[in-house]
Chains A and B, each alone.
Chain A
Amino acid sequence: MDVATKSESSGLHSSLRYKIIALVGNENVHAAGAADAVAGVQPKLVIEPGTESELAEVLRLANEAGLAVIPRGGGTKLGWGNPPARADLILSTARMTEIIEHAWADLTVSVEAGGTIQRLQETLAQHGQRLALDPLWPEKATVGGVLSTNDSGALRLRFGALRDLIIGATIALPDGTLASSGGKVVKNVAGYDLPKLVTGALGTLGVITRAVFRLHPLPRNTRSFSVFSAKADETQRFVLAVQDSKLAHTFLQSQFSDEAPPVSDILFEGTEAGLTAQESQLRSLAAPANVMEASTPTWAAREELWNFVDPNTTAVAKVSLLPGDLARAMGGVEQAAKLHHLRWRALVYATGLGWVRLEGKPAALKGALQLLRVEMEIHGGSLVALHRPEKMAEFEAWGNPGDALPLMKALKQRLDPKNSLNPGRFVGGI
């Protein structure tokens, strides 16, 4: 069936539809199917603009018509956040995949938002460089999606989060404005730092169309080790001791679960001479605990956590805590899981950011998440429910955004006054 006819039946005004088709081409406008649903909400059309000006124009038309727009990259994390209050159009960056400029001698890269992280890393590796970030599912996740969800992994300890790696961004606003901020140089304080504002904003302020990153060299050599402890407080002591030492480690993560004692994994990068020296320092610091060469799969631990069998009986939450609070927090997870008869495992980086997976009945998952959120927030941290069974979609994803919520709403109002972008998906109903 012709797209124009089909979407008429789903209530999209035909003149708008023709405008969009004229803009991006018939072949880049599709009726949305069940696979395009966003947290259970069915959109009508999927639109794939080829350039950032096309994207901005589609956005402007949709906004003018009062339609709700869901920006989409690889779609790997489309379920994160609250279900949208409305969803009319999926605005996909699938065709915007160009690596605009890898200025390798300047250690920077400019990319379009729709390219995957893996392809970017492959290009950078040709000059011995990397974007020092290890997000989930790099083979599918796009630059724009990873930025919007602020996804970071173990490398964050050493190289910082996306906010520390992004140096420039172009965003499309609902009124069709294409605005750039930051720049192409690593050091730059001219104007407001809007690249940071849109990082982690879940596409609620504008659609990221391109980004500029600072890069790091690939390591010359690496060595990694696992250190086993009997209990969480031993793990915490080890983590804090490493953090307080002169070791120059790149990753440090600890894994906990209901079936095995905790294990911490540490990775070093550098020259062979440097690695040998650090290994011996690590061994004396960890003694009497056993230090073993780590197996490679340990670095896939975060993706492993997401490899669950049944999405209807699993919840995955991102937690943020103080490193000095690690043992208490893990004790809390264990207790909450026990109380609600849940299986559990957790992965916490030395930065204090972690991921907790709970498995069991939806009602029990909800009870445990509520309990854990209260506990995290009391101690100055947070719990964000990234995946929860469809049956508990009403469980608020984000938790308490604090006293700056009215200001966040004011920002949203200034940039997206008609609430067209991802309505209802972000904190406090934004």
Chain B
Amino acid sequence: MEARLLDELREIVGGRGLISSPEELHTYECDGLTNFRVMPRAVLLPNSTEEVQAIIRICHRERMPFVARGSGTGLSGGALPVQNGIVISLARMNRILEVDFPNARVVVEPGVINLDVTGRVSPQDYFYAPDPSSQSICSIGGNVAENSGGAHCLKYGFTTTHVLGLEVVLPDGLLVHFGGKTLDAPGYDLAGVFVGSEGTLGVATKIILRIVKRPECIRTLLAAFPSTNEAGAAVSDIIAAGMLPAAIEMMDDLSIQAAEAAVHANYPNCGGLLLVELDGPVAEVEALMTDVNEICRSNGASEIRVAQSDAERALVWKGRKAAFAAMGRISPNYIVQDGVIPRTALPRVLSEINRLSEEAGVRVANVFHAGDGNLHPLVLYDRRIDGQEKAAEALSARILELCIEAGGSITGEHGVGEDKKKAMSKMFAEPDLATMQRVRCAFDPLQLSNPTKVFPTPRLCGEKPGEYVAHPAESAGIAERY
């Protein structure tokens, strides 16, 4: 980068807030999805909203793209730097600014770690509900970008349910506010559009969150089934019985093996393990737990356990949340998928995955948020074996197609990012994507904020809709105009 520009940026964030040496930049060349890597021109670590604004104003002036980054735990390449762009790391903006118990609101900066919000409010018996598996390291700003879910979103909803307001620096450097501490602020629900936009509409610098009172009790039941089919049938029966558990998770034999090897959760050895969590008033939960028990038995569960203590419960969850990382114990390499299907399509899609897996000679371990149909098939392979990586990638892509064919989605919580943008045109028709692009153009007409992500084809925004002026990139045939 030119020295002049570097100096100007250094002036904003100070010497310790600017990273520009190639050795240090390596840390930022990818996020949790490590097979894509791009070296940024520089990394900025602002300390305040004003600093973020000042950086983005320069980006706007220089037509220099930027990518905001939280903790870099994303699994779709959302925080992957873009060519010739800079990275704005929000890691230093990690203050909890306000805690308001009477109104159950918390105001945070984007770099605050997800679990730290709960940590801060738990003495008063509140918690922050969205709980992605990476919650001990991922940031709220990253959660906002990705609309992160987690195991308990079946009952409590996603990040978007819990974000009431945002302070955002738009891609031209303007500071705006969406929503607020009160509900239904007059105007369009811009917070609703911003959450889950994967950093393509601007950078959030303050976030107003809703916190939730802890339920009177939590009961976690583990049920061992001969296979995922019986476990899946039990899930359907639980839903059909009119219950809304806090979480329903399912693991197959490979995932159980991996989780056991990693954290010794003491899971029963079986073909399909169901983890059902109910929470609420004691009398209510105990009555429903009896029903769940009965449903599991009648669907062929060979063993049913209810975690007897908080420690047991924590261990059960530790096994589930460690399942991705645990795959390293049984396979040198693996691809994590994040497809969603209607819950009722589960048996059909699973048997198809099994068939494809056998056909390709590539193992697939399955971990699901079974209550909401979010599949996390882990495609296991060994890079050192010739052709395995290709076979694994092909199988992984085929699994996503299965999800779309079943009426589902290519991503339930990890985001599209760089990884799944090609699949977007399989899930959405051209007018659908073009309409989303029009929304993007309203926020970011110059396409500076995390450009090249989410959408399959690069497009330019006409400054004035309807008036046609050919852009050089368009004439050269490297971009098409919306």
Contacts and interface: CB of A to CB of B under 8 A. Distances in A.
Contact of B436 (A194, A404, A413): A194
A341 interface: no
A189 B157 contact: no
Interface in A173-223: 173, 177-181, 183-194, 196-197, 199-201, 205, 216-218, 220
B373 A185 contact: yes
Contacts, number: 271
B284 A270 contact: yes
B182 A380 contact: yes
Interface string B440-482: 1111000000000010000000000110000000000000000
Interface of A: 103, 105-108, 128, 150, 160-161, 163-164, 171, 173, 177-181, 183-194, 196-197, 199-201, 205, 216-218, 220, 240, 243-248, 270-271, 273-274, 276-278, 281, 318, 320-324, 351-353, 380-382, 384, 398-408, 410-411, 413-415, 417, 426-428
B433 A196 contact: no
Interface string B143-184: 000110100010001101100000000100011111011111
A192 to B, nearest CB: 5
Given A201-B188, A274-B281, A103 B342 contact: yes
A188 B409 contact: yes
22 contacts: A103-B342, A106-B344, A108-B342, A164-B160, A179-B432, A187-B340, A189-B149, A190-B410, A191-B454, A192-B196, A196-B193, A200-B188, A217-B244, A243-B104, A281-B281, A322-B182, A324-B100, A324-B103, A382-B182, A398-B186, A414-B465, A417-B465
Interface stretch (B14-22, B46-54, B422-430): B422-430
B3 interface: no
Contacts of A427: 186-187
B288 A320 contact: no
Interface size class of B (residues with CB under 8 A): 35 or more
Contacts of A324: 100, 102-103
B264 interface: no
B431 interface: yes
Given A177-B434, A180-B429, A191-B428, A318 B408 contact: no
Given A105-B240, A217-B243, A274-B284, A408 B190 contact: yes
A248 B246 CA distance: 13
Given A189-B413, A191-B416, A402 B440 contact: no
Interface string B323-360: 00000000000000000111110000000000000000
B195 A243 contact: no
B468 to A, nearest CB: 13
Contact of A183 (B102, B240, B409): B409
Given A245-B213, A323-B103, A351-B183, A191 B188 contact: no
Contacts of B410: 190
A373 to B, nearest CB: 10
A180 B428 contact: yes
Contacts of B178: 404
B411 A190 contact: yes
Nearest to B343: A106
B372 interface: yes
B415 interface: yes
B192 A199 contact: yes
